[in-house]
Amino acid sequence: MVQVVVVGAGLAGLAAARRLVADGHEVVVLEARDRVGGRVEGTTLADGTHLELGGQWIGEGHDRMRALVAELGLETFRTYNDEGRLTLELLGRRTTMAAHKGAVPKLSPFALADLARGLRRFDRLARRTDLDRPWASPDAARLDGQTFESWVRRTLRTRAGRAYFRIACEAVWATETADVSLLHALFYARSNTDLETLLAVDAGAQQDRVVGGSVRVAEAMAAELGERVVLGAPVRRIEQDPDGVRVLTRAGETYAADHAIITLPPTLAGRLEYAPALPSWRDQLTQRTPAGAVIKAFAIYPEPFWRSRGLNGQVASDVGPVKVVFDNSPPTPGPGVLMGFFEGQEARTWARRTPEERRSALVECLVRSFGPDAAAPVDYRERDWMAEEFTRGCYGAHFGPGVWTGYGEAWRAPVGRLHWAGAECAPRWNGYMEGAVRSGEDVAQTLATGGRSSRGGHRLQENARQLPREGR
């Protein structure tokens, strides 16, 4: 039997704990917030409509999330897509186009040829990436020594072609092409099949949602774990020695175990105290993997009026501040919900404004795409993930130039009895809920099969109760 402290009750932490408990091991999950879910969060409108303030999509190939949803007695539904056309705003021209995977935007023949050529080159490079060891990929030093932006400028010859990749970068990483290593862009695209899948709805990464909101997955796992999940317990310090680990909260409580699984985003994991200190290469990695910048915003209307006009509620635009929009309406008849993202530099800029100003900016973008009926939403909600104390950005971490080749070997490697899990730690489906669940379960499986208790069968929860009284 192994005893494990899991730091963080997001999908990775809960999945790890659930797997360990199922195998007969003792677990306690420490969560800083007063809720579970981490970067998955829900809220409910006055009429009972559920909104997903955080991660929400289950994509094509997200098999573990689909199985988990079924195991927990939940259901999914399709993102609204089939019965309308996407609005594309590019280089001052607004058009609509089919929204299925592989659809081609209305561009000049030269721009289409340029875009097709750029996508082929990108996909060809991505297919060569080693998902388990990206830093060991062919020509890794050269690929990691340049930004995604430098590759875009060198490869694409048209403004439209360059705009496509820049919009894609903001939509996928919530940052700018100048912030991301080309090697990281290639790794991430291959981790999620390809760039086209990352951007698509049907047969893509945005295909399905959970009825009632994705947070129900986290809540259902936490319900199974019961009192093993401790809320309102932000971790301050983690100590380890040959006998085990001790995890100390800000409130002064101490939890002892054989191992700790840390599921915080890298930049937050790097802010904890460690004794002994983390090896320099691991700490330096956390300093170089910032989170993206995003504000998720919702405009709610009495009904999804855009559908009757043959539009599916999706927008892709090179004009900000909100460049990507989805129909986030519930699966049953009810209000219409348009959800848009302030991403990258737009998010950094608009985070300094008031919620009222952001609401006006979102509505202005929606009116541009859907007409005057979008001018008067009956409600507005938002979540600035950069402002969340225990997140500090979304969707996930991105690697800048030189990080994979300089620090990649520290990516998932345990540090003694400390193990790392989370969406950023997944070789496959990196950055998505699927990757988070797989990562948590993989680490749990490693501990369950290879770990041995050093406490003669003492229960973790008993230790957790005793240690604070002993003043440790």
Q: What is the pLDDT of residue 463?
A: 41
**What is the gyration radius of the CA atoms in the chain, in angstroms?**
22
* Amino acid in the structure at residue 16: A
> Alpha carbon 6 to chain centroid distance?
19
CATH topology of domain 3-38+215-278+415-470: FAD/NAD(P)-binding domain (3.50.50)
For residue 109, give Cα distances in angstroms to 88, 99, 290, 390: 17, 20, 38, 47
How many other CB atoms sit within 10 Å of the CB of residue 242?
7
**pLDDT at site 471:** 34
Confidence (pTM): 0.93
Encoding tokens for residue 384?
Answer: 């600035």
Buried b (16+ CB within 10 A) or exposed e, 435-453: bbbbbbbbbbeebbeebeb
Residue boundaries of the structural domains of the chain: 3-38+215-278+415-470, 42-82+205-213+292-387, 106-199
For position 103, what pLDDT does the model report?
64
Using the CB atoms, write b or e for 68-87: b if 16+ within 10 Å: bbeebebebeebbbeebbbb
- The amino acid occupying position 18 is R
User: Going by DSSP bridges, is the β-strand pair 336-343/322-327 parallel, antiparallel, or unpaired?
Assistant: antiparallel
What is the fold of 42-82+205-213+292-387?
Polyamine Oxidase; Chain A, domain 2 (3.90.660)
pLDDT in tens, the chain (472 residues): 789 999 999 999 999 999 999 999 999 999 999 999 999 999 999 999 999 999 999 999 999 999 999 999 999 999 998 778 999 999 988 988 877 666 667 788 999 999 999 999 999 999 999 999 999 999 999 999 999 999 999 999 999 999 999 999 999 999 999 999 999 999 999 999 999 999 999 999 999 999 999 999 999 999 999 999 999 999 999 999 999 999 999 999 999 999 999 999 999 999 999 999 999 999 999 999 999 999 999 999 999 999 999 999 999 999 999 999 999 999 999 999 999 999 999 999 999 999 999 999 999 999 999 999 999 999 999 999 999 999 999 999 999 999 999 999 999 999 999 999 999 999 999 999 999 999 999 999 999 987 443 333 334 444 443 333 233 3
Distances (CA, A) of 210 to 45, 227, 324, 334, 468: 17, 25, 21, 17, 40
Report how far apart the first and last C-alpha atoms of the chain are (Å, whole number).
24
Confidence (pLDDT) at 102 = 63
- Say if residue 276 is preceded by a cis peptide, omega within 30 of 0: yes
* pLDDT at site 1: 72
Closest C-alpha among 446, 317, 356, 390 to residue 25: 446
On the question of a common fold for 3-38+215-278+415-470 and 42-82+205-213+292-387, the answer reads: no
CATH tag, 106-199: 1.10.405.10
